[in-house]
Each structure stands twice: as structure tokens, then as C-alpha cells.
Amino acid sequence: MSRILTFRIFRFDPQMPAEKPMTQEYQLQEAPGMTVFIALNQLREQQDPSLQFDFVCRAGICGSCAMVINGMPTLACRTLTSNYKDGVITLMPLPGFELIGDLSVNTGKFMRQLSERLQAWLVPSDANEDMHRLERPMDPALADAIYESERCIECGCCVSACATAQMRDTFVGAVGFNKVARFALDDRDARSADDYYHIIGDEDGVFGCMTLLGCQDTCPKDLDHQGQIAYLRRQLSRSQRIL
């Protein structure tokens, strides 16, 4: 016989400020291979159509279904209900982001503002680059390193798990460092370590990281945030010694 799961879900709609945030309890029969994402869909379809949460791909690629599950920021579509032996699952929205409603947060707004702040786009080293010419070859090891950074799905788990980001909303955080490292590695980019120092070379950047590595522990894509932060610290420190 399958067991009965208990879900304790955060409920609040910012569009209705007269209401107070609360935790609402639901019960659902568990099915083999059930994920938290599947359970939430069943709850919304069968019990409460007003329940708000986000999803797109169901495959751990889009990052939309990120939420705090029993105290851990992670993806609902990759979290099996069978992981919780007592059958009690508490769901909260990711902290550090604008709340849309219930479990839904606006990570897109945050990520766009961060990209603009960090200038997270390629600045070509050759201003007269011919766009119709075949792209020049790249060393395979460098291409692999850039691809590793590109695997970030911007789910926001690293931001929510970062103690520094929760204390200071101006802190760049691991997702921002990953963006910077991607272009710092790229030999087609014209910017130097000194240019990046003026963007992330302060307490809101890599030197403000307390190295608690909540980002490393919660990243659903297992990105090497620790390595990226260490790489940027070395590059920026060297640039300032030379200057």
C-alpha cells in the first residue's frame, strides 16, 4: 500500500496585502517514482487550483521549479518524495527574490538586472571582426571550461543558499561570479582582469564571499562554484599586484 504524504506549503499573495502569510497543509497519496513537482501538479488539479508555483521543462533544465524543500533550495522536478521517510514535506519559496505568490518567485527579473550590472556579454577583442567569416578555432580545453560555465540554468538555488546574499542584497553571488568567469576565460573577450576588478573586486564581489559554499552544496547542475570563485580571486589579486 502506498503511503499518505503531508505537504506543508507556504501561501501568500502579495497582490492581497490584507492577507497574512501562512502555511497550508495538504495530504496526497504517494505514487511510485513521484517527484515533488508531480505532487504539486496533482494538488493543484485535484485539491486547490489557486496554488501558485512555476514549471516549464520537468527535466531539471529550465530551473523554474526551484523552491526550498524541507529547508534545502533545490528543484522540485528532480526531488523524489520517497527521499522523505516520514512523508512530511515542507515547501517554501526561494528567499532573496521578489515573491509573485506562494512558491513562485521572479528569478528572471533578478537575473536580467544582474547581467546588466556585470555586463555579462562578449566584448570582442577585434572591433572590426567580420561576422561572415568562419569562426576561428578554439582550444578544446578552453571550450570545455567555457561550456562548464554555460551549464548554469539560473535557477537561483545558489542565491537562496548564500548567507552573504541573504544579509546583503547587493552581493553578486555565485551565479554572478559564474557569469563573469565565463567571459574572463574567453580569449575572444577584450576585457582584462583589471576591468573585472572594477565590477567584482570589492565586498559585494568575490572578496566579500565568506566561503561557506552553500552555492556548491545546492547547485542542481553540480557546477564548480568554489573553483570559479578561487579563479576570480587569483586573477583579480594578480592584476592589482601588477598595478
- Indicate the pTM of the whole model: 0.90
Residue 127 has pLDDT above 80, yes or no: no
Q: If you average pLDDT over every residue of the chain, what do you get?
A: 93
* pLDDT tens by residue, 72-125: 999 999 999 999 999 999 999 999 999 999 999 999 999 999 999 999 999 988
Residue 96 in grid coordinates: 532573496
The pLDDT of residue 243: 43
> Using 50, 70 and 90 to split pLDDT, how confident is the model at 239?
confident
Per residue in 187-216, is it b (16+ CB within 10 Å) or e — as a string? ebbebebebbbebbbeebbbebbeeebbbb
Residue 147 has pLDDT above 70, yes or no: yes
Asked if 131 and 85 touch (Cβ cutoff 8 Å), the reply is no
What homologous superfamily does CATH list for 4-104?
Answer: Beta-grasp domain (3.10.20.30)
**What average pLDDT score do residues 141-152 get?**
94
Residue 58 has pLDDT above 70, yes or no: yes
Q: List the chain domain ranges.
A: 4-104, 106-239
Number of neighbouring beta carbons within 10 Å of residue 176? 24
What homologous superfamily does CATH list for 106-239?
Answer: Alpha-helical ferredoxin (1.10.1060.10)
The pLDDT of residue 241: 67
Positive or negative: CA dihedral 5, 6, 10, 16: positive
- Nearest-10 Cα torsion for 153, 109, 165, 79: -40
Residue 242 has pLDDT above 60, yes or no: no
* pLDDT tens by residue, 203-221: 999 999 999 999 999 999 9
Identity of residue 235:
Q
* pLDDT tens by residue, 4-53: 999 999 999 999 988 899 999 999 999 999 999 999 999 999 999 999 99
